Structure 1
Amino acid sequence: MRRKENDGMQKLGLVGGTGPESTVFYYKAVIDGVQRVAGPQSLPMLTIESLSVFDVLDYCARRDFDGLTGYLTAAIDRLARAGAQVASLTALTPHIVFDRLRASSPIPLISAVEATCAAAVADGGRTVALLGTEYTMTEDFFSGALRDAGLQVMVPDAGEITWIQQRIVDELEHGIVTDDTRAGLIAIVGRLRGAGADRVILGCTELPLVLDDVVSPLPCLDPVQIHARALVAAIVAPGD
């Protein structure tokens, strides 16, 4: 018997475009997750409100967190008006203002940072290397949450942070993957492993384009896949 369309499922809203590549990852991961849980003929009810990753990075560069909050809040409000019952961001950097967004959101927001912290603890690591945009690596919204979860956190040095940021902005946000960037990231992760890290968090949602467990010197925690599982759990009723 064919499953009744969207029976018991809540509508998900994604704030996408931050960047476009990771929005595609999220879309596919949520569909795959729903079908694993609810069956191959099940598809999520889903709306994407696409913003610009470059606007997000500009707000962060200017430390205009009030402006960033307003930019993201407007997108969440549009998702709610489109019928979304649960929403999320599709990038880690905007989580720098996640607490403000959650406080004002008309619908529940599911945090990628919280989901990743829980997964890192469950994975058994003690010291995690955190990669991401400059703001993810230098601000405390992600590192602090990891420490609060009982983990030690390592980040690249200042020169490496600048190099990673440039590669994210110039290449990965445009879907460009080069051997040089992959080799550079592998070298950075290898150095952090030598300094004591036992896991690496791919804390920019475009990093899975270039790093995974096959090439990384450390086991990778991919927030896109981790977060997608949390989103599926939030929108699919138990037993569906």
Structure 2
Amino acid sequence: MKKIGLLGGMSWESSLEYYRIINESVKSKLGEAHSANCLMYSFDFHEIEELQHKGEWETLTDLMVKEANNLKIAGAEFIVICTNTMHLMAPDIEEGTGLKVIHIADATSEEILRRDVKKVLLLGTKFTMEGTFYLERLEQKGIEVLIPGESDRQVIHDIIYNELILGELNPESRRKYVEIINEAADIGVTGVVLGCTEIPLLIKDKDVSIEVFDTTEIHAKAAVDFAIKE
């Protein structure tokens, strides 16, 4: 089993889910008392969040590459970024460490194709929804991607940063997300990508009628598949 290097703490609530899913998946695949061979560096997300909203992406890239290299020194054989937004610097991490990064958008696109879904709604932070680093990887696989309108994007973003990263799960926020998803379903969208690792804490399959792509679970399981592959 390859040693997994996890860049976590963005936020720790979703990193906790990564650790749980990875270990449950290893046990399911290998049986007995098996668990994951992994290392995690956990950022102080307050620092990360401030730099994101100031647009200090070069500083963030330097931080991510530095800690990925520390994981490499400690023995990590590949890297998993435990958040969607920070995949913006996945190419920099691969170049700066020489290690493979299991890209969350690639893992998600494979699952979308496996379920034969052609058109999806992408939810996430504004950085993810309005950027190209995520959307283009889905579109390259022939998947049509829609994002919510500007006001809805702000609502989704604010709920993530004001509630979900703090572990707050509010029924009214769930209702708003479901309303946005249902509006997309009404115009032919057949799947929703929960493209922020905190959103699956709030939205579940049972909440909507279309296919739900939980990127946290998809990504964590893809990491395990790579770790145990011969």
CA root-mean-square deviation: 1.3
> Which residue does 1:211 correspond to in 2?
203
The amino acid of 2:121's aligned partner reads A
Deviation of residue 237 (structure 1)?
4.1
1:168 paired residue among 156, 160, 176 = 160
1:133 paired residue among 125, 149, 157 = 125
Deviation of residue 58 (structure 1)?
3.4
Consecutive aligned runs of 4 or more in structure 1 exceeding 2 Å deviation: 52-65
Mapped to 1, the partners of 2:45 and 2:194 lie a distance apart of 17
5+ unaligned residues in a row in structure 1: which ranges? 1-8
Mapped to 2, the partners of 1:105 and 1:127 lie a distance apart of 35
5+ unaligned residues in a row in structure 2: which ranges? none
1:84 paired residue among 76, 81, 86 = 76
**Native 8 Å contact 1:77 1:106 kept in 2:** no
Mapped to 2, the partners of 1:54 and 1:198 lie a distance apart of 35
> Which residue does 2:186 correspond to in 1?
194
> Which residue does 1:180 correspond to in 2?
172
**Native 8 Å contact 1:80 1:106 kept in 2:** no
Mapped to 2, the partners of 1:97 and 1:84 lie a distance apart of 18
1:40 and 2:32 equivalent? Answer: yes
Deviations 1:38-87 (A, max 9, x none): 11310111111001334334333333322121010011011111111121
Deviates more, 1:59-68 or 1:225-234: 59-68
**Native 8 Å contact 1:189 1:217 kept in 2:** no
Work out the percentage of aligned pairs sharing the same amino acid: 26
1:69 and 2:41 equivalent? Answer: no
2:20 paired residue among 5, 28, 32 = 28
Deviations 1:163-199 (A, max 9, x none): 1111100110011101000000000000011122100
The amino acid of 1:165's aligned partner reads H
**Higher share in helix:** 2
> Which residue does 1:14 correspond to in 2?
6
2:88 paired residue among 71, 80, 96 = 96
SS at match of 1:88: strand
> Which residue does 2:147 correspond to in 1?
155
Deviation of residue 99 (structure 1)?
1.5
SS at match of 1:130: strand
Mapped to 2, the partners of 1:213 and 1:103 lie a distance apart of 37
The amino acid of 2:20's aligned partner reads K
Mapped to 1, the partners of 2:116 and 2:229 lie a distance apart of 29
1:59 and 2:51 equivalent? Answer: yes
Mapped to 2, the partners of 1:154 and 1:217 lie a distance apart of 17
Mapped to 2, the partners of 1:65 and 1:48 lie a distance apart of 22
Q: Give the TM-score taking structure 2 as reference length.
A: 0.95
